[in-house]
Structure 1
Amino acid sequence: MSVQSYEKWLDFLYSLKRTRCRNPMENITKVCKKLQNPHLPFKTIHITGTNGKGTVATQCASILHHSGYKTGLMMSPHLFDFCERFQINAEKAPKEYIVENTPIIKAIIEDEKLMMNYSLIVACLGFKYFHDNNVDFAVIEVGSGGTSDFTNIVNPEVSVITSVGLDHCEYFGNTIEDIAIEKSGVIKPGKPCVIGPNTPIDLLRKIAEEKASELIVVDKRDSYETAIEENSRITKTVIEALKNKGVSIPDQAIENGIKSRPPFRMEEKVILGRKVVFDVAHNPMAFERLFNDLQRICRNKNIRVILAYGISRDPTKILDVICKYAYKIHLVSNDDPLLFDSEILKNNALGLNRDKISISGHIDAVMGEAIRDMTDDEILLVCGSFYIMDSARKALLSI
């Protein structure tokens, strides 16, 4: 396999990112049928949620792996390399698999006269990869939503809704109830569903009752807990639901696997004596939780922020949250078409404390500037988008 052929197929896939599909379940059902229904032979855990789904998915997959099961993990989005989206026992898919199988799926879509779609191909690649490698379990993270997500073709042993907040409102509605209804599509008749404490429990309970599904609620703690602690409790509840269905999972596997976490979730680094935290928070709910966690963990520290933000979201509300907590905000100027221009971000801060905000250039320059300007009573938070995290960490390590 040549590097050029892999890059060619990635370019093809990325060219489809803006396309939307009106009939996702109908389309993926047709494609999977031609692929001999690769999503059916293995057991699945299906996970959605506004925040926390990546952490819960990673922990569940790790626990199953430590229990001796060959375990697939489908993640969204990837951070460093497209192949991260499809993992077996924590090893990402080889590039050769993408090169060999993307054209197979593309040809089926063309033969069926369906709309070519990035998420459709990605879901089919994941299912086929897990099937071809005979996994016992696959932990499937939705791309977005639930009902209309291409992964919703699975019939899981357990489904999970980690949290519900306002995100992707242009697709799913402008209220918590609208978004909860979309995410409730992962609840399957007769199958248990675990929901986190930050969800509209009464609404989801009603939907679960209509589907004769057992709803398992992770209650709110009386005392404060961080997002990581909450997500770990959700994971343990999912594992308990699997054990109740007869899946053998040793306590030691839970102890080992629960330590796993995907990159850039409250990930801490120290450079030149300065603490830097990377986190992929990207909606108001996540930012509120992140800043509350930081204030408790790093008491009496001012928070300096480096922010980039995706064009698919409304930046006004997140800037409102960040300006409430941050001591200083550096906006990243980036030529990535998926990110807001920093001038546009600053214009969205009208009415806020704009003196806190500076436009600082490319991420390489911003990291150096922020580290140099920091004082002993500060921490640096890099946040807002999955798409800058790899570059930001590399820039930090080169200082």
Structure 2
Amino acid sequence: MSQTIPTASDSLKTWLDYWTTVHVTAIDLGLERVLPVAHALNVLQPKAKVFTVAGTNGKGSTTTTLAAILNAAGYQVGLYQSPHIFYFNERVRINGIEVEDDVLVDAFVQVEQARQQCNLTLSFFEATTLAAFYIFTQQQCDVWVLEVGLGGRLDVVNIIDPDIAVITNIGLDHVDWLGDSIEKIAFEKAGIIRPNIPVIFAGDQTLPQAIADKIEQCQATLYQYQKDYFFELTDEHWYLATPALTISFAHGHLAHINQSAALMAILASGLNVSHDQMIDGVKAAQLAGRFEIRQYQDRHLVLDVAHNPHGVQFLKQQLSRYLQLHHEITQVNAVFSMLDDKDIQGVVQLLTTIVKEWYIAPLNVARACTIARLEHELQGQETFVSESIQQSFEQALQQSSSQQLILVCGSFHTLEAVWEYLLNGDE
């Protein structure tokens, strides 16, 4: 069946809809199809310093911090992240600013021409990633900061050779695609490592053998958390420490372990960045959905994309610190839903120690967990069921007081619904 190919005069939405139809599956790991198209676009050898970040959790915080520090240092920085929470443009930023629709559309026109020239299909993620690389090339960015989408070795982001590789941590996630053990998943993440480059391993865990083997094979230089660099916390500040220096930073909303990995990557990169610029960048680094604090209708809100036990464990630590500073909060209620292929039981077990009331609804996506399963996992908890996340959020607002905190978590899709409500609601 033939399909209409958009043109330069079509909208961004039209192009995004088009890219969902070009390839038979949404996820198709492998670089064979995308490499010829990338070559035709002339994006494979950027004249820029490239930081690539892989890992199970923390990629967004790490890439955001990297870009913020490099922006503070005056570099022209292209930042690529996924997924977006609300607008697609969030995925592609230059100097901290989302690119405009017309810039994306122009890039999509170029990607489509290259795709047809090569007579190949591209998945949505492949096409949109190539568009980001094309934009960074056209804008002559000094530095590219790239977040791997899924895994590492076979992810389209890995067509670009990084100058510095960061692996945040290794957890059991996306097991259908990446394997059912830490070592199998570590093997995929290690695919971003190249010969003779600095590799930062920020996992709060034993270095997986697959990563150690790849580092040895590539004769890369390892900087490992709790061996080559550390961070320490006080009530007022936190400190990054290496054998050569110690720098003090104010607490922000992003995970210290991820911000310290970004700082270590900057230090290992050889780029000219002062300590003051590092401090300014860390202070400026903010990321929607990472312990995002809001006030709405006199209510305390925390929105967090934590969707697996590792992420939720860190969320609990942040929440504990927040509650210590806000003695007026007497109760935490959750607006909650998850995707069916996640460790729902593990997440719920961690959250039931702090959440009093649960406001649940099915997500409006194909991989959504059913209400029946959510209710089963929350058996014995005080639970309120709605037809949509926005209705759940409304109910949580109505049934809570200004002394109660509403936590929104479980999935990007859960946050997306609440973000839309907040954007359109009457404050």
TM-score w.r.t. length of structure 2: 0.84
Question: 1:198 maps to which residue?
Answer: 204
Deviations, residues 221-245 of structure 1 (Å, cap 9, x unaligned): 6779896222221121111112xx2
Amino acid at match of 2:316: F
Identify the match of residue 356 of structure 2 among 327, 341, 359: 327
Paired residues for 1:262-273 under 5 Å: 262-273=287-298
Question: 2:386 maps to which residue?
Answer: 360
Cα distance in 1 between the residues matched to 2:122 and 2:399: 48
Distance 1:47 1:199, change over 3 A: farther
Q: Residue 216 in 1 paired to residue 223 in 2?
A: yes
Identify the match of residue 306 of structure 1 among 304, 327, 335: 335
Distance 1:84 1:377, change over 3 A: closer
Identify the match of residue 369 of structure 2 among 340, 345, 348: 340
Shift of 1:11: 0.9
Deviations, residues 7-46 of structure 1 (Å, cap 9, x unaligned): 2111112445943325x22222211111123542222100
Identify the match of residue 371 of structure 1 among 368, 377, 397: 397
Cα distance in 1 between the residues matched to 2:308 and 2:81: 19
Shift of 1:104: 3.0
Deviations, residues 290-316 of structure 1 (Å, cap 9, x unaligned): 123312431484321111223443533
Q: Residue 398 in 1 paired to residue 423 in 2?
A: no
Identify the match of residue 241 of structure 1 among 268, 277, 296: 268
Cα distance in 2 between the residues matched to 1:52 and 1:253: 22
Deviations, residues 353-381 of structure 1 (Å, cap 9, x unaligned): 34333212323322221122224653211
Identify the match of residue 68 of structure 1 among 69, 74, 77: 74
Residue pair 2:231, 2:260 contacting (<8 A) in 1 also: no
Residue pair 2:8, 2:106 contacting (<8 A) in 1 also: no
Q: Residue 318 in 1 paired to residue 325 in 2?
A: no
Q: Which moved more, 1:299-308 or 1:280-289?
A: 299-308
Distance 1:94 1:102, change over 3 A: same
Q: Which moved more, 1:137-146 or 1:86-95?
A: 86-95
Gaps of 5+ in 2: 1-6, 239-252
Identify the match of residue 185 of structure 1 among 179, 183, 191: 191
Identify the match of residue 388 of structure 1 among 397, 408, 414: 414
Residue pair 2:363, 2:413 contacting (<8 A) in 1 also: no
Shift of 1:78: 1.1
Amino acid at match of 2:409: C
TM-score w.r.t. length of structure 1: 0.89
Structure 2 SS opposite 1:182: helix
Cα distance in 2 between the residues matched to 1:37 and 1:263: 29
Amino acid at match of 1:355: Q
Structure 2 SS opposite 1:398: coil
Tell me the matched-pair count: 392
Over the matched positions of the two proteins, sequence identity in percent amounts to: 25
Residue pair 2:11, 2:105 contacting (<8 A) in 1 also: yes
Cα distance in 2 between the residues matched to 1:240 and 1:356: 49
Higher helix proportion: 1
Identify the match of residue 278 of structure 1 among 303, 310, 315: 303
Cα distance in 1 between the residues matched to 2:233 and 2:92: 37
Cα distance in 2 between the residues matched to 1:32 and 1:7: 23
**RMSD, matched Cα:** 2.6
Question: 2:171 maps to which residue?
Answer: 165
Residue pair 1:21, 1:115 contacting (<8 A) in 2 also: no
Distance 1:385 1:237, change over 3 A: same
Cα distance in 2 between the residues matched to 1:354 and 1:209: 50
Q: Which moved more, 1:163-172 or 1:192-201?
A: 192-201
Cα distance in 2 between the residues matched to 1:283 and 1:231: 17
Question: 2:4 maps to which residue?
Answer: none
Shift of 1:184: 0.9
Q: Which moved more, 1:170-179 or 1:111-120?
A: 111-120
Residue pair 1:158, 1:238 contacting (<8 A) in 2 also: yes
Shift of 1:182: 1.1
Question: 1:140 maps to which residue?
Answer: 146
Cα distance in 2 between the residues matched to 1:148 and 1:170: 14
Shift of 1:202: 5.1
Q: Residue 131 in 1 paired to residue 146 in 2?
A: no
Amino acid at match of 1:253: Q
Cα distance in 2 between the residues matched to 1:337 and 1:297: 35
